[in-house]
Amino acid sequence: MRQISLREFRTRGAQALKKVPEGETVLLAGRDGPAYFLIPTLGDVIAEDRELRRALAKASLRHQWRLASAMGKSLSDQEIAREVQQVRRKRNHRNAK
């Protein structure tokens, strides 16, 4: 994955993209970190779909952490482990039926 600064992309977008090998994903990053992904397409199918979904999930998780922190709500590692264990127990119980 190639990384390009937002500033470079805004000022010289076409030139910046010419440096990227065909079919490679591009991460546009600003001062505050990653901002956008440019995902190559093959016809109407998005290449690297799994990576895109993973990146979107991570971004969503980071956003939720910031919101929880701003509200003063956070869980300890033990509380998180307890919740995960409860969900897994319910799932395993459902699948056993």
Instruction: For 20-76, write each residue's pLDDT tens digit.
Output: 888 888 889 888 877 888 887 776 666 667 777 788 888 888 888 888 888 888 778
> Range of 14's domain?
2-96
Global pTM reads 0.46
What is the pLDDT at residue 48? 62
How far is residue 68's CA from residue 59's CA, in Å, rounded to a whole number? 14
How many C-beta neighbours within 10 Å does residue 28 have?
A: 20
Provide the number of structural domains found in the chain. Answer: 1
SS3 state of residue 18: helix
- Which strands form 33-38's sheet, in the order they lie side by side? 2-5, 26-30, 33-38
Q: Name the helix (H) or strand (E) containing 60.
A: helix 49-70
